[in-house]
Structure 1
């Protein structure tokens, strides 16, 4: 990694992280990086100035380790891009750098706990699905009967739509609740049972500064139909009329105000039902699965740099160039089998260059998109000046890849699966 472009002015403590960009931005802005995690990956070593191997579950021990590492120096900021560590980041920020901008502990908790998110927003008079918290199968069934079918059963925390299922009857609710055993054991107690809102879904990325929220991108999201929600892709422009877009902007401002998010980024899921917008989820983080790069392309704002500048109290960089049209298409399969494809290396450079990722190698097995062992196996992201240009760009990629699935009969699931994204962001 190159040396900082400006003299070092302080130290940023980072909790976890795997992306070079996360660390590179901090150093480019003229700060040292101290990385704390239970196991520091070897590939991260060149990107940081110092590291501390420590488990992050004991908050007191983490605070002591930071004090030992920095001595009398106060950290310029405590930062993480890892959603489970956001509450710890907020706690350490207030403890070690009181008064610094960023995500506070209450806002972090409000966004991390889906039940708490809905409770706070409902109390503020904002539109959310009807919901209830259930700690047993019987409570889940009673909540579903009260709300009215169909309902969605999901864990209180977690991401990527894991464990989320739409149910149309009692047996499905019981099955969905039972399948959450791992979440109920390792995460927050209880499951969320909520009304299923039928209508188009939108992924909204924002940057909030001093309580004023700016919409960076609004993507129309495509998923498989219920009962499971596997991401099929995202589109920009999102197709909303100007009046709806203004309504959505105001809803995000009011939502983040109510949750206490004043100096941070967010990735929010919203559905447009027959009675208007409903807030489905609010995540106090950037999106995953290449949506952050899409946001940079369509807005000119890099969310990684923006949130880093925000927590350091620095002015935001001016927006860069933006593209007019963008499309993210998940690589999914309808039938099981062995996948074959050719290597594809995109031409060109810059924001208009296609992104092509496959998380499986030729000769490996795949499952249908709705299968628990299936889902998303990669993604294609294309940019252009019109919808027609997107069509041509995606077709060019698919022709070059020549994706095929063969030998479907008698297929057994792969014994392990290390893919990062199986479902929604």
Structure 2
């Protein structure tokens, strides 16, 4: 093996976005991409694509050694949540000077039971919770916590498998569904207190033990019992005092989980008793919240986490816009989707329009288990009125509509990688 660049090799576990790779190439690194099956569209962006069973940690390590020989990688990196523990493990075992996220911190964030346990021990506000192994334990936990409760998997993302339950029967159904076909990989399920209040997505960067909040977005969701992300708004509507309280909360929470020199995407709810931490994800946000954060903070989280993984300081922030809105594309009925194509608009306030189904393909309602989010519209501006005009113009151009399937059953392969935003 011969390096084609001066800085060394970075191993990337999974990847879909060109930006993930161009950041590394711009910094002078050779890129090796490992995945179950490396997508064809990623081939031009990397130096070496390797197909490997990424659930077999030993096989992944062997594939890396086969490519690099005795030369340690400069870093191991992933932007995919399920691969964070593997990334941290390989960083520790293969890199000469491990940097970025530790394996303990990755597991603390990936496993929601560990997250809540560590935060509780640190005296930080989280919902009441219990780890259960079967439906009987779940019902007992629900009665101990008090209805309504949330049933969710120990790991996973995007609100998959998360359900609000108001009775024993609903708890039994939700827990049995998780245990029979778990969306994650960890045994058991969580039963926790339902926090009835607004939800916020908080993005941070931590460097040299200094945590800075990059963005706080007010999150719009469907009504329970299921939770589908309908969109995000900036500004969040919180006061300066509230934002300061949130920043202090994050400055305590991340060290409690062992997250240092890394980024995070955290979900927080607030009820009459104050803020409560729902989830801490040791990664950038999904969907297009990275671009939204870049627009309002001047910080590109993809670039920031890449530099932190390499032991480099984050770049200086760029210019920022005062207003942004993210609207998920969802549907109320099943059928065939029709819409007009959208032509990209250049410029500093260029909107993002992304639809993950082609005209003529089937779609399902947002509250269907196989429905959810089919795309997103993100607009930027200097006022709420400018956001309104931009989104209205896009929707009028697209003319999204769903027509009936005339009694035919919904069939087909769903090609969407994500059915929720984050």
TM-score by length of 1: 0.95
**Cross-structure match for 2:129:** 131
Counterpart-to-counterpart distance in 2, 1:56 and 1:22 = 19
1:87-116 deviation line (CA, Å, top 9, x unaligned): 111111111124432000100000000011
**Cross-structure match for 2:281:** 283
1:171 to 165, 169, 172: 169
Distance 1:217 1:25, change over 3 A: same
Give the deviation of 1:247 after TM superposition: 0.3
| RMSD over equivalenced CA pairs, Å | 1.8
Give the deviation of 1:56 after TM superposition: 2.0
Does structure 2 conserve the Cα–Cα contact (< 8 Å) formed by 1:373 and 1:413?
Answer: no
Gaps in structure 1 of 5+ consecutive residues: none
Counterpart-to-counterpart distance in 2, 1:413 and 1:181 = 26
**Cross-structure match for 1:85:** 83
**Cross-structure match for 1:294:** 292
Counterpart-to-counterpart distance in 1, 2:152 and 2:136 = 15
Correspondence 1:21-420 to 2 at 5 A: 21-181=19-179, 183-184=181-182, 187-350=185-348, 352-407=349-404, 410=407, 412-420=409-417
Instruction: Give 3-state SS (helix, strand or coil) of 1:396's partner.
Output: helix
Distance 1:238 1:49, change over 3 A: same
Does structure 2 conserve the Cα–Cα contact (< 8 Å) formed by 1:229 and 1:423?
Answer: no
Give the deviation of 1:252 after TM superposition: 0.7
Counterpart-to-counterpart distance in 2, 1:302 and 1:104 = 22
Counterpart-to-counterpart distance in 2, 1:186 and 1:250 = 31
Q: 2:9 matched to 1:11?
A: yes
Give the deviation of 1:314 after TM superposition: 1.5
Give the deviation of 1:416 after TM superposition: 2.7
Give the deviation of 1:364 after TM superposition: 2.6
Distance 1:206 1:262, change over 3 A: same
Counterpart-to-counterpart distance in 2, 1:80 and 1:182 = 29
Greater alpha carbon shift after TM alignment, 71-80 vs 179-188: 179-188
1:363-387 deviation line (CA, Å, top 9, x unaligned): 2333222122322121111111001
Instruction: Give 3-state SS (helix, strand or coil) of 1:88's partner.
Output: helix
Counterpart-to-counterpart distance in 1, 2:421 and 2:225 = 14
Counterpart-to-counterpart distance in 2, 1:34 and 1:424 = 27
Gaps in structure 2 of 5+ consecutive residues: none
Give the deviation of 1:186 after TM superposition: 5.8
Does structure 2 conserve the Cα–Cα contact (< 8 Å) formed by 1:144 and 1:193?
Answer: yes
Question: Aligned residue pairs: how many?
Answer: 420
Counterpart-to-counterpart distance in 2, 1:186 and 1:222 = 24
Counterpart-to-counterpart distance in 1, 2:159 and 2:213 = 23
1:180-229 deviation line (CA, Å, top 9, x unaligned): 13554861000000000011100011111122111111100000011000
Does structure 1 conserve the Cα–Cα contact (< 8 Å) formed by 2:179 and 2:188?
Answer: no
Greater alpha carbon shift after TM alignment, 27-36 vs 114-123: 27-36
Give the deviation of 1:321 after TM superposition: 1.3
Counterpart-to-counterpart distance in 1, 2:273 and 2:176 = 32
Distance 1:130 1:98, change over 3 A: farther
Does structure 1 conserve the Cα–Cα contact (< 8 Å) formed by 2:341 and 2:398?
Answer: yes
Give the deviation of 1:424 after TM superposition: 4.3
Counterpart-to-counterpart distance in 2, 1:299 and 1:172 = 42
Give the deviation of 1:41 after TM superposition: 2.2
**Cross-structure match for 1:422:** 419
Give the deviation of 1:402 after TM superposition: 1.3
Counterpart-to-counterpart distance in 2, 1:184 and 1:11 = 35
